[in-house]
Structure 1
Amino acid sequence: EDALDGRDPIADRQVAWLTGLLGSEPEVASPPEISVEVMRGARSWLGGLIDPAEGRSVRLCLQLSEPLEGVLDATPEQIEKASWPLGFHLLVTDDPPTIIDAAQIWADGGGGRLASVLGPEESAGDLLLGELARAQRIWPRLQDALEDIDPTELELGTAEAHAFLQDVRPILQEAGVEVLAPSWWGQATSRIGVRLSIEPHGESDKAPGMGLSSLVDYAWEISIGDESVGLEELRRLAEQGVPLIRIGDRWVEIRKEDFEKANSFLEKHPGGASTLGEVLRLAAGGEDEGGPQITGIRTSGWVQELLGDERETTEDCVRPIEVPKAFKGTLRPYQERGLAWLAFLDRFGLGGCLADDMGLGKTIQMIALLQHERATAEGRVIRPTLLVCPMSVAGNWRRELERFSPELKVHIQHGPQRPVGEAFATRADECDVVVTTYALVSRDRTWIESVEWERVVLDEAQHVKNPPTKQATAIRSLKSRHRVALTGTPVENRLTELWSIMEFCLPGFLGPQAEFRRRYAIPIERHRDELRGERLKQLVGPFVLRRLKTDEGVADDLPPLVENRQHVPLTPEQARLYDTVVQDMLRQVDEATGMRRRGLVLSGLVRLKQICNHPAHFLKETDIAPKTGERLSQRSGKSARLVEILEEVLAGDDRALVFTQFRQMGHLLATILRQEFDMEPLFLHGGTPQGRRDQMIERFQSGDSSPIFLLSLKAGGVGVNLTSANHVIHYDRWWNPAVENQATDRAFRIGQTRTVNVHKMITSGTLEERIDQMIEQKTDLARRIIGTGESWLTELDSDRLRDVLSLRETSLEDESA
């Protein structure tokens, strides 16, 4: 009681509740605006005190039914007095459950099914009465029924039925009571909302081709379910104070606050002419501004063709188109649909993101689009397309364009001899496609901006996921009629990456980044807000097309992908080095703070990963030529196991890709392979010149090279087709699963005919094993928090860091073996 002294129960509902409990009066004093909330909180608290009888095979079941008579064409007064029967039952938790009416229980004990689950000393009637008494402690209204000898139901008025559904039902359910409500309860169609109507502006029904800047006429109308309701009629219904009314053939809930929201919303947004983008943003964010729920969108003319209506998706509206006759190849059915979707957006002047899974042929779908627009130009001048990609895939684009569309004129804008200034503009005007790199867009921005582009295409569009960079700013400044993003990973870690890609495709569509974070990213990522997630999906849905290899009808002929983890021990040399580095690192970390601490952790992690790879990698040994009789591979558990795997690969006449994130480790592996197999493996890394890179890929694909291809993860993990390999080995782990998956998909993609075996090498008992376990147990958390790399580890406290890094007993190989 001392804690309540001086505190106002009128201003604080918790103080009001405690004052009522501790005081002598049999009521809780609280103002009207919080009394309902106090009551709900109290009932919920009571429900938590009552044993929900979990595990019992028989439970109480209450079923509220609609009035059966006197409601058709009834007046509000008659509706208010209508009788809602609340039936009593027992539910046997079979599969499916069995419901036994109270009337049957009083007539014959409920039949054999109840007798088989009740004990010999317990009758069905006693159980029903006991369960009703337990529920009555939560909802005293049941006391009236308990005064009957054999109660079967309780009659409720309309206002009582509404209060039961809204306030009592959730608490009873928490206490283990099954409560069945009418099917319409809780559905959007049983509440007041608003419906948006969008139609073309002006008399022309032809798509203006101006994208989200196209003018449309829009209007809002109040709706209850599918029925439009006039404002005055709704005002009249709300003022009558009947919470449930009958409209047509359904019951709907009339809340005064719903009417006030709808009325206020219509006053702020009377409708009229606006851009399509503004109207779509308003539809997506209306509820966030305190507006009513938006129950649907009606469209007509070209707007309906673009957005569909309430029964269609955008994909349903896309008309099939003929594959260009000039295309030198065959498109699969899903690729034909992708081409039609791209052409569909082009026709309306809209950008889009083709986000098909890696290896599903985004490149050839884009090439077919370039041919389609030229085949259907009908005299219109088609400007060149600028294609921006990582340097590592520029050669692949050139080869694919030459293969599938030899008639298109292609210019690769790269190298010290590339044209600049007016020479570049002249060259671009002579071409159909100009291919350049992300780095050069920023460097050559002045003259790239001077060209009027038909379209700007970003391949591996995740490169613009960091909005403030010069590179992203330069790319967004380019002027073009259309914009297309190609990426297999539209969201790797955070929703702001999706915002960045959509800001390129459809500038301004998702609003400023700060507003996007407030409205979508924070509620979805932090609070798992499913409603916001669904709303964002609906908003971007028409402009993002994503198909996965596992989708039905996409890549049904792809062979299986088999993943396995190769857990390997440390050698004694590795274990000594590992333990020394951990102890030294933890000692320094304990004495450091802030940025210095984070820097120490990150540098220590790199050293530990190098030790797990090979002692020579950590020690930076330059003279690694093995001594007579010494096998370099045997100094590391990983390299020893790698040799065993590759022996099986070679024996089966297979081919393998070996990925490592360290160039030095790649050179070390090349030396090991020369010693073990007397072969010269290919090794592609960031320093490999483009010409040499293309030559390596062609040789490996044709079979005219070593069957083992070493690649650095960043240089060889994206944009190359290496389907002649049927083994993928991740020698060291990258903690972002999307990066590893991209590397795997160099082999597991369209064109692969053999089962692809993926080997992920993990050193037992070390940092590698612990982080792999974390990723497996909480994949979604890893995507959201781990990010790209190991920076998240720097935030762990010293005890947690010690637990993650320290050696486990399984880390050391058995020397006696």
Structure 2
Amino acid sequence: MLHAIWAEGRLALWAEDSTLPLTTHSRAEVRDHPFALPASAVPKLVPPKVTGYRGTSYKVAEPAIPVRSAVLLLPSSGRGPAPSPELGVDVTVRNPRVARWRVPILPYAPGEFDAIPGPSVRYFGIVGDFARDLVRRGRILPWLTADEARWRPVLTGTDAARFRELAVAMPPVCRAVQEEGRSGEVLLGALTELVDGVARRAFPDKLIGAYRPGRKSALADRWLLALTDPEPRLDEVDETEAAELRSALAAWFQAARGLGGPVRVDFRLVEPGADGQWRVEFGLRSAEDADVRIAAEDVWAGAAFTATPEPRKTLTGGLHRAIRLYPDLDRALRVPHPARLSMDTRGAFAFLRHAAPLLEAAGYGVRLPSWAGRTRLGLKMTTRSRPGPPNLGLREVVDFRMDLAVGDQVIDEAELAELARLKVPLVRVRGEWVELDDRQLKAALRAVEERRVTELTVGDVIREVVLGGADELPLVEVDADGLLGDLLSGETERRLRPVPTPATLDGALRPYQERGLAWLGFLSGLGLGGILADDMGLGKTITTLALLLAERADTTAAPTLLVCPMSLINNWQKEAARFAPSLRLYIHHGGARRRDEELAATIAAADLVITTYGTALRDLPALARQGWERVVCDEAQAIKNSAARQAQAVRQIRARTKLALTGTPVENHLAELWSIMEFCNPGLLGPARAFRTRYQEPIELRRDENAMRALRRATGPFVLRRLKTDKTIISDLPDKQEMKVWCTLTPEQARLYQAVVADMMGRIESSDGIERRGNVLATMTRLKQVCNHPAHLLKDGSRLDGRSGKLARLEELAEEIIEEGDKALVFTQYAEFGTLLQPYLEARLDRPVLWLHGGLSKRRRDELVERFQGDDEPMIFLLSLKAAGVGLNLTAANHVIHVDRWWNPAVENQATDRAFRIGQTRNVQVRKFICVGTLEERVDEMIERKLALADSVVGGGEDWLADLSADQLRELFRLSPEAVR
């Protein structure tokens, strides 16, 4: 893991390595960091050229820079420093404290690097973006340090606010060097270093041309040359000259920063009156209260302004400094008491488009008419269905028309041609002023000319909508009727008539699920793919199974291929057996899976084929040769990285339609949505590069509302997203949803499971009475521990990652719960297992994971409960079933997970009622983990058969199983083949 820190007045790198041993150290004042790479290995992390975060680049000044060391203040325990969560090192840190650790560091200058970045490196990448933006907008000034020519940022207005936001968001490791200051000081130093590097690369030529000053030349000349020279250092600096130069530069810098004071010079654009002239009126405005303003006429008349003792001087100084951003001001400043600047329409447009944004970014006050920047200008598409029965297909022809839209008004072709002839950038269209530059006018004429056709196919219309017009002139409105209107509205699910529950479904769909089924069928009929992105727990699985059953009426339909994580195979298998037993199912996974002709014959005889992402990648040639009705990707965030091999693999499997199931279509970046949409409807959103330019960068970097609207319009027809917070959905749900989560064992777990059965069955058969009962209960305890995790049984302190199917499923659910902003209770009957889970989950989720068990004092229990109930942050609460199964009010949670079962429904219900009780305002989802093919599944079946007598039959927990015969116990403990995937 590579970290970026601020050390010795410069950015530096240091690295952690999870493969290095964690050893106990003495409590010396400064100790060597046990996870830090040795000094000899650090330079190898930084090749001469590497790619930084979001295109920001850094360059190693010299590949052979000598490695130095720095003392860092890091969270630690008595054994050593806490490793970064990203390393995945399973180390519990109780009562962490800050300690000093020595690490090798490698200082580096702005350039490019190719290493995998940690959070601090990504943070400085964002700071680098900020530095580049400051240089681009000219928000920098030159400076002279003790003996170097440097560039420094000028932070006023919105830039100062952005700086404060970045300072608050700084990862602590960035400022962990004990000699460095607070986050604001560290950020200013880093930003200045980055600004200087970016500015030097921004000047292609020297500031001094033919004349090149020598060592004896004036300091000002040598300083000016060094501002663009690779070497900023100045030799033989005369302190008298340096002091004079610094004084002038400081005055320049303070004048620029003066905009950040309590008073702002204010510019107000006023629409033309009877004389037809636009005006920019000057004034002063309070920085604290935008409504407190005094006009320039009043300033010159001697009016007082409490925010500044010298309002005339403040106004004059501010206007003169603004000339470099708005050169036209020079005309207004030729009179003794400037109060306004008059101009024609072109001048007003130039102020709107160019001067106003620059002035506002520099910290000046700017007030524009209410219509400025808000009038939507773009293209309006109108389509009308041909007479006849409503039968929508991609090749159906519809009447088509494209017009220029200004707000709610449509401009016809003749009016558009007249506007183009006048070539006036600000025009009054039907009583409303509109900004319309020459570039947009040409784009509008071109769009109307190119789209003068009067008919298009439905497929072409959809592509027009997705492409969203031109860069200069976006598509702002779509007016379509009939089924095409339903699709393009993004409200298809609301408009379509719900499809009744298929007769072959063993269960009933809720109304919102019937609407979802209608939406899926509608897209399928068009040959289009979609993303079913319902919230977790709203029934994506049963809706998909209902779709498959509805299609079975057509016996010629090809089978569906479902690709999912390995941990969900058994879940799909069980749910299909429960809700859709008529579906012919084949699980294509494992070493015994079918191949070649046998595979083709099996697929041809199946309705649903289930496989994993890994198997789909390995068997891609065989699966791609088959004819599929549909490919379904469950937990489709697994293909969010379009460059990943498994994402590329599933995209290559051909099918008539494709469906993605995910509760989180976008987890980090909009590129993930593009990747999933590229699977569902290849090419519909265009190439990744075009998507990034049209949607991703404007939305992620600038929060562009027009781009957001365009993206919603482009993807809305193909994404169905329902939330549990939606009242129309909530009313359809029960108060408490109970579901079983089927987990599989890893090969290691399976070997341990069989070893325990072989060992303990011998002991059980050779014992009787109380000893036999004890052996039976001990066997069940050990097998349940194996199902939890091998480390739970072995108690060897070994790592947790990748060794338990149940833990993998718990991680997936916990991440989804946290992502949704919810809280969850996770019950285990074993305190030792909870102690293993707490630090592991906290590191993985980067969110609080509380842990309540019987060893805590009442005061500590109360503190944990109060924090869980009162803190708004999403979190997980691990609870020991014995210690927390009754008596607690934990209504902040709307998820309950039983990791290991007590096999007493009454006890489990009591634990669930910690969340599902008076005061709970949300629906509660209860999940019970069961390892398929093990005693957990068989005991669950026995309980289900005797549920009516549950209290009397299993009221004593698992004691009732102790009286089973040896044959019954062998059957109970038997490990089935489907237990391992």
TM-score normalised per structure 2 = 0.47
Question: Does the 8 A contact of 1:393 with 1:718 survive in 2?
Answer: no
State the match for 2:932 in structure 1. none
C-alpha spacing 1:307/1:403, structure 2 compared with 1 (3 Å): same
1:181 paired with 2:368, answer yes
State the match for 1:390 in structure 2. 565
Residue 511 of structure 1 is aligned with which of 668, 686, 693?
686
2: CA distance, partners of 1:559 / 1:430: 41
C-alpha spacing 1:214/1:733, structure 2 compared with 1 (3 Å): farther
State the match for 1:582 in structure 2. none
Query: Cα deviations across residues 536-558 of structure 1 (Å, max 9, x unaligned)?
Result: 45422322234566778767999
C-alpha spacing 1:176/1:731, structure 2 compared with 1 (3 Å): closer
2: CA distance, partners of 1:441 / 1:293: 40
Post-superposition offset of 1:484 = 0.9
Post-superposition offset of 1:351 = 1.0
State the match for 1:789 in structure 2. none
Post-superposition offset of 1:509 = 1.7
Residue 99 of structure 1 is aligned with which of 293, 313, 336?
293
Post-superposition offset of 1:437 = 3.7
Report the secondary structure of 1:366's partner residue.
helix
Residue 390 of structure 2 is aligned with which of 206, 231, 235?
206
Alignment coverage as a number of residue pairs: 563
Post-superposition offset of 1:248 = 0.2
Question: Does the 8 A contact of 2:825 with 2:895 survive in 1?
Answer: no
C-alpha spacing 1:109/1:196, structure 2 compared with 1 (3 Å): same
State the match for 1:632 in structure 2. none
State the match for 2:430 in structure 1. 248
C-alpha spacing 1:685/1:157, structure 2 compared with 1 (3 Å): closer
Report the secondary structure of 1:53's partner residue.
helix
Question: Does the 8 A contact of 1:47 with 1:174 survive in 2?
Answer: no
1: CA distance, partners of 2:321 / 2:515: 59
C-alpha spacing 1:538/1:474, structure 2 compared with 1 (3 Å): same
Report the secondary structure of 2:381's partner residue.
strand
State the match for 1:366 in structure 2. 544
Query: Cα deviations across residues 219-262 of structure 1 (Å, max 9, x unaligned)?
Result: 43334333333445434333334332211010123422322333
Structure having the higher helix fraction is 1
State the match for 1:300 in structure 2. 481
State the match for 1:195 in structure 2. 380
C-alpha spacing 1:254/1:464, structure 2 compared with 1 (3 Å): closer
Report the secondary structure of 1:51's partner residue.
helix
Residue 359 of structure 2 is aligned with which of 156, 172, 177?
172
Post-superposition offset of 1:187 = 3.2
C-alpha spacing 1:174/1:229, structure 2 compared with 1 (3 Å): same
2: CA distance, partners of 1:304 / 1:320: 17
1: CA distance, partners of 2:612 / 2:815: 14
Question: Does the 8 A contact of 1:666 with 1:711 survive in 2?
Answer: no
Equivalent runs, 1:605-754 vs 2, <5 Å: 667-672=790-795, 725-726=826-827, 729=837, 732=840, 753=912
C-alpha spacing 1:428/1:507, structure 2 compared with 1 (3 Å): same
2: CA distance, partners of 1:392 / 1:125: 73
Unaligned runs of 5+ in 1: 1-11, 20-45, 70-80, 561-656, 676-682, 694-708, 757-817
- The residue identity in structure 2 corresponding to 1:672 is K
Report the secondary structure of 2:359's partner residue.
helix
Question: Does the 8 A contact of 1:52 with 1:175 survive in 2?
Answer: no
Query: Cα deviations across residues 254-300 of structure 1 (Å, max 9, x unaligned)?
Result: 42232233334455555465554554444554666x65343333323
Residue 634 of structure 2 is aligned with which of 455, 459, 473?
459
Query: Cα deviations across residues 343-398 of structure 1 (Å, max 9, x unaligned)?
Result: 44334332112234555542233234345556xx6x88665433233343222112
Report the secondary structure of 1:386's partner residue.
strand
C-alpha spacing 1:441/1:328, structure 2 compared with 1 (3 Å): same
2: CA distance, partners of 1:550 / 1:334: 14
Question: Does the 8 A contact of 2:826 with 2:876 survive in 1?
Answer: no
- The residue identity in structure 2 corresponding to 1:305 is D
Question: Does the 8 A contact of 2:488 with 2:713 survive in 1?
Answer: no
1: CA distance, partners of 2:646 / 2:325: 62
Report the secondary structure of 1:507's partner residue.
coil
1: CA distance, partners of 2:259 / 2:701: 31
Query: Cα deviations across residues 445-478 of structure 1 (Å, max 9, x unaligned)?
Result: 6876676544332223344456678866664455
1: CA distance, partners of 2:371 / 2:384: 31
Higher RCO (CA-CA < 8 Å; seq separation 6+): 1
C-alpha spacing 1:143/1:342, structure 2 compared with 1 (3 Å): same
2: CA distance, partners of 1:750 / 1:103: 64
1:224 paired with 2:406, answer yes
Report the secondary structure of 2:527's partner residue.
coil
Report the secondary structure of 1:184's partner residue.
coil
1: CA distance, partners of 2:487 / 2:617: 34
C-alpha spacing 1:131/1:517, structure 2 compared with 1 (3 Å): closer
Question: Does the 8 A contact of 1:52 with 1:176 survive in 2?
Answer: no
C-alpha spacing 1:101/1:333, structure 2 compared with 1 (3 Å): farther
Question: Does the 8 A contact of 1:323 with 1:368 survive in 2?
Answer: yes
State the match for 2:276 in structure 1. 82
Post-superposition offset of 1:180 = 0.9
Question: Does the 8 A contact of 1:305 with 1:317 survive in 2?
Answer: yes
C-alpha spacing 1:335/1:754, structure 2 compared with 1 (3 Å): farther
Equivalent runs, 1:4-403 vs 2, <5 Å: 50-51=255-256, 53-54=258-259, 56-69=261-274, 82-95=276-289, 97-101=291-295, 109=303, 114=305, 117-118=306-307, 122=309, 135=322, 139=326, 153-189=340-376, 191=377, 193-200=378-385, 203-204=387-388, 206-210=390-394, 216=398, 218-271=400-453, 274=456, 276-285=458-467, 292-308=473-489, 313=491, 317-323=495-501, 338-371=516-549, 384-403=559-578
1: CA distance, partners of 2:701 / 2:424: 39
Report the secondary structure of 1:182's partner residue.
coil
1: CA distance, partners of 2:802 / 2:265: 68
Post-superposition offset of 1:181 = 1.0
TM-score normalised per structure 1 = 0.54
Report the secondary structure of 1:485's partner residue.
strand
Question: Does the 8 A contact of 1:658 with 1:731 survive in 2?
Answer: no
State the match for 2:610 in structure 1. 435
2: CA distance, partners of 1:443 / 1:428: 17
Question: Does the 8 A contact of 2:561 with 2:608 survive in 1?
Answer: yes
C-alpha spacing 1:320/1:95, structure 2 compared with 1 (3 Å): farther
Question: Does the 8 A contact of 2:825 with 2:877 survive in 1?
Answer: no
State the match for 1:631 in structure 2. none
State the match for 2:245 in structure 1. none
Q: Percent identity?
A: 36
Question: Does the 8 A contact of 2:559 with 2:629 survive in 1?
Answer: yes
Question: Does the 8 A contact of 1:214 with 1:275 survive in 2?
Answer: yes
2: CA distance, partners of 1:658 / 1:249: 76
Cα RMSD after superposing both structures? 5.6
Post-superposition offset of 1:684 = 11
Question: Does the 8 A contact of 1:90 with 1:99 survive in 2?
Answer: yes
State the match for 2:927 in structure 1. none
C-alpha spacing 1:724/1:459, structure 2 compared with 1 (3 Å): same
Post-superposition offset of 1:157 = 2.9
- The residue identity in structure 2 corresponding to 1:206 is P
- The residue identity in structure 2 corresponding to 1:84 is W
